[in-house]
Chains A and B, each alone.
Chain A
């Protein structure tokens, strides 16, 4: 068997480089208290000696395996084993580095941990992408991943880590803000769908309206979020003081209302544009046939145009949902709540762990939303396969 360049996997090279660098970078950060600068600890000094050596040895083997063209299942298994080991190792690093009985000291993952994690997560995603699991398979994998993370979190394995300590000191507000974050992201999406889809239909049917509305929404999209909040404070304060009952509904110049309105405004363009695009993509013959068999305009819309445009509209919903989960972080700036609260508090206190307490759940949610909606988009597509071929 020749060991030539053609046996080297290209993604494997990237994985190997990142992982190799991760091995020499600090594995964990130790801080005497939560806001001082941390000092890095290498892989071998952050872990109990035997565990450190085992992790090092496994990492080297895994890097070599990543480089070779092995069956995808083998590589996937390797990367999953490595991710599990890393999850375990960082938990025990916390216990190992924290002096007995010290409540101020903080241990957090160092760049080495993140790089190793990123490298093997990349390997795992690459294998999964190449294995092309069907939509349901992807949702199952996502569910399994969430279950694994939940297990690690509830097992107490990571309780010594600084981010978890931050969580424990804020457990109540964490779930409150989580609820607000979801309300902001999903609520504004729902309203944007209810308004945007009919608006898209209108744009499709009435040509002169189309460019006017799309241009206006394009302009809204380019307003920076902070500026949009500022613009909204005036009108919403006015509504709060002048419309009876508005204030009782929580409408104020600051708080959740302007954040909600801003997210809604940002969501409109993708919703309207995708509805218009989806309707425009309906094959002319299908519309012609619908007229020919005697459908009224409304029947044609409900029975032919919307079903055929649905995958594209769903893609718009996916864009909006992922975008909103990220953007909802900004709501904290004007007292709208959400995970952004932790991010901005953390930035203010230069407490990175607090920033992560806000950022990590946000990124996780956005990622999960993308996986789920991509799967749904694919699930509804087969009925339209003929149309895809026709327009391709």
Chain B
């Protein structure tokens, strides 16, 4: 659990993070959104003390992060830097191996970990491992940057716009992988993004920042139902609201009794996917299959439309 307590950062007269407090549950994904220059990176960097706060404190699992030697704190926290920040004089494999080496892992464990991570991010270890960063595309560099942050299996992962340079297909894959890793290891993730789709897709809670202040910190559905300010509402996108809401909930919650023709949809697919399928195929209803594969009922356009508004 991370407790951010009335933290502020000022450069001279300019306060770039202004009295922010929030509590982040262990094993959850928190996504920070906000305009450029709103203080997202600064807030993130105060957690691993790359930026020292002007006032306030941050506790990680009850321990004040100011009490831990900075380099030890940072070895425990994975940090995917905005841009990627790879070491230009080290190969991809050596870049990924950085933290395990600092922690003194045995070489064979490091090698195995590097290979595992490269495979995970769809980078062929034989081809990419020996390359230097200047021989990578922007998206490849970014994946290597994330792999480096994950290398030592940290409990806490700070990610600053980690998927910005990825194409939609690889980005979706990287997001799924991140969710899988997070589920598997119970990693606490704090992620900054400009992509609201990504924010709603990944977040357990979303933090909206503007001008250094935390405008709202809530679950995605709470934020859709009652945005704290007009700015939050406009950031979510007024026209997107029903679809974001549908995307958040599974088909399961809209199942009605009855039968339907054609290809069924799984109960844990998102309601948005179900609506898209209904609209595109022109069918009035889809059969829904449960976890056991048996048909559990059907989902209709009318039923879904009722779900597309906050209750």
B70-100: which have CB < 8 Å to A?
70-76, 79, 81, 83-89, 98-99
Query: Measured between alpha carbons, how far is A296 from B76 in the docked complex, in Å?
Result: 14
Flag whether B132 is at the interface (Cβ < 8 A).
Answer: yes
Flag whether B148 is at the interface (Cβ < 8 A).
Answer: yes
Smallest CB separation, A6 vs chain B (Å): 39
A341-392: which have CB < 8 Å to B?
383-387, 389-390
B contact residues, total (Cβ < 8 Å): 26
A278-302: which have CB < 8 Å to B?
283, 285-286, 288-296, 299
Cβ of B48: which chain A residues have Cβ within 8 Å of it? 292
Smallest CB separation, A301 vs chain B (Å): 13
> What is the interface residue range for chain A against chain B?
20 to 34
Cβ of B88: which chain A residues have Cβ within 8 Å of it? 283, 286, 308, 384, 386-387, 390
Flag whether A307 is at the interface (Cβ < 8 A).
Answer: yes
Q: Which residue in A292, A294, A383 is a CB contact (below 8 Å) of B85?
A: A292
The answer to whether A294 and B87 have CB atoms under 8 Å apart is no
Smallest CB separation, B68 vs chain A (Å): 11
Q: Which residue in A285, A304, A386, A390 is a CB contact (below 8 Å) of B81?
A: A285
Cβ of B74: which chain A residues have Cβ within 8 Å of it? 291-294
- Given A285-B83, A308-B88, A384-B88, decide whether A293 and B132 contact each other with a Cβ distance below 8 A: no
Closest residue of chain B to A286 (Cβ to Cβ) is B87
Closest residue of chain B to A384 (Cβ to Cβ) is B89
Flag whether B14 is at the interface (Cβ < 8 A).
Answer: no
Cβ of B133: which chain A residues have Cβ within 8 Å of it? 386
Cβ of B259: which chain A residues have Cβ within 8 Å of it? none
The answer to whether A289 and B99 have CB atoms under 8 Å apart is no
Query: Measured between alpha carbons, how far is A288 from B86 in the docked complex, in Å?
Result: 10
Cβ of B98: which chain A residues have Cβ within 8 Å of it? 293
Query: Measured between alpha carbons, how far is A291 from B87 in the docked complex, in Å?
Result: 12
Q: Which residue in B81, B135, B148 is a CB contact (below 8 Å) of A288?
A: B81
The answer to whether B81 and A289 have CB atoms under 8 Å apart is yes
Cβ of B76: which chain A residues have Cβ within 8 Å of it? 294
- Given A295-B102, A299-B102, A383-B132, decide whether A290 and B87 contact each other with a Cβ distance below 8 A: yes
Cβ of A286: which chain B residues have Cβ within 8 Å of it? 85, 87-88
Cβ of B84: which chain A residues have Cβ within 8 Å of it? 285
Interface flags for A307-332 (1: CB within 8 Å of B; 0: not) read 11000000000000000000000000
Interface flags for A59-97 (1: CB within 8 Å of B; 0: not) read 000000000000000000000000000000000000000
B29-87: which have CB < 8 Å to A?
48, 50, 70-76, 79, 81, 83-87
Flag whether B134 is at the interface (Cβ < 8 A).
Answer: yes
The answer to whether B134 and A294 have CB atoms under 8 Å apart is no
Q: Which residue in A285, A288, A296 is a CB contact (below 8 Å) of B71?
A: A296
Smallest CB separation, B157 vs chain A (Å): 12
Kindly name the residue among A285, A299, A308, A390 whose own CB sees the greatest number of chain B CB atoms within 10 A. A285
Q: Which residue in A285, A292, A295 is a CB contact (below 8 Å) of B50?
A: A292
Smallest CB separation, A377 vs chain B (Å): 15
The answer to whether B75 and A383 have CB atoms under 8 Å apart is no
Smallest CB separation, B142 vs chain A (Å): 13
Cβ of B72: which chain A residues have Cβ within 8 Å of it? 294
Cβ of B86: which chain A residues have Cβ within 8 Å of it? 289
- Given A290-B87, A294-B99, A307-B89, decide whether A385 and B50 contact each other with a Cβ distance below 8 A: no
Query: Measured between alpha carbons, how far is A390 from B84 in the docked complex, in Å?
Result: 14
Query: Measured between alpha carbons, how far is A84 from B182 in the docked complex, in Å?
Result: 74
B119-164: which have CB < 8 Å to A?
132-135, 148
Cβ of B79: which chain A residues have Cβ within 8 Å of it? 292-293
The answer to whether B50 and A288 have CB atoms under 8 Å apart is yes
Closest residue of chain A to B134 (Cβ to Cβ) is A386
- Given A294-B75, A386-B133, decide whether A289 and B87 contact each other with a Cβ distance below 8 A: yes
Query: Measured between alpha carbons, how far is A285 from B83 in the docked complex, in Å?
Result: 9
Query: Measured between alpha carbons, how far is A387 from B88 in the docked complex, in Å?
Result: 6
The answer to whether A293 and B89 have CB atoms under 8 Å apart is no
The answer to whether A386 and B73 have CB atoms under 8 Å apart is no
Q: Which residue in B71, B83, B132, B135 is a CB contact (below 8 Å) of A294?
A: B71
Cβ of A389: which chain B residues have Cβ within 8 Å of it? 134
The answer to whether B71 and A387 have CB atoms under 8 Å apart is no
Smallest CB separation, A298 vs chain B (Å): 10
Smallest CB separation, B164 vs chain A (Å): 15
Smallest CB separation, B45 vs chain A (Å): 8
Query: Measured between alpha carbons, how far is A291 from B189 in the docked complex, in Å?
Result: 20
Closest residue of chain A to B49 (Cβ to Cβ) is A291
Cβ of A293: which chain B residues have Cβ within 8 Å of it? 74-75, 79, 98-99, 102, 148
Chain A contact residues, CB within 8 Å of chain B: 283, 285-286, 288-296, 299, 304, 307-308, 383-387, 389-390
Could you write out 26 A-B pairs with CB less than 8 Å apart? A285-B81, A285-B83, A286-B88, A289-B81, A290-B87, A291-B70, A291-B74, A292-B74, A292-B79, A293-B74, A293-B99, A293-B102, A294-B71, A294-B75, A294-B76, A294-B99, A294-B102, A295-B71, A296-B71, A304-B87, A308-B89, A383-B89, A383-B132, A384-B89, A385-B132, A386-B88
Given contacts A294-B99, A299-B102, 17 further A-B contacts (CB under 8 A): A285-B83, A291-B74, A292-B50, A292-B81, A293-B75, A293-B79, A293-B98, A293-B148, A294-B74, A294-B76, A307-B89, A383-B132, A385-B132, A386-B132, A386-B133, A386-B135, A387-B88
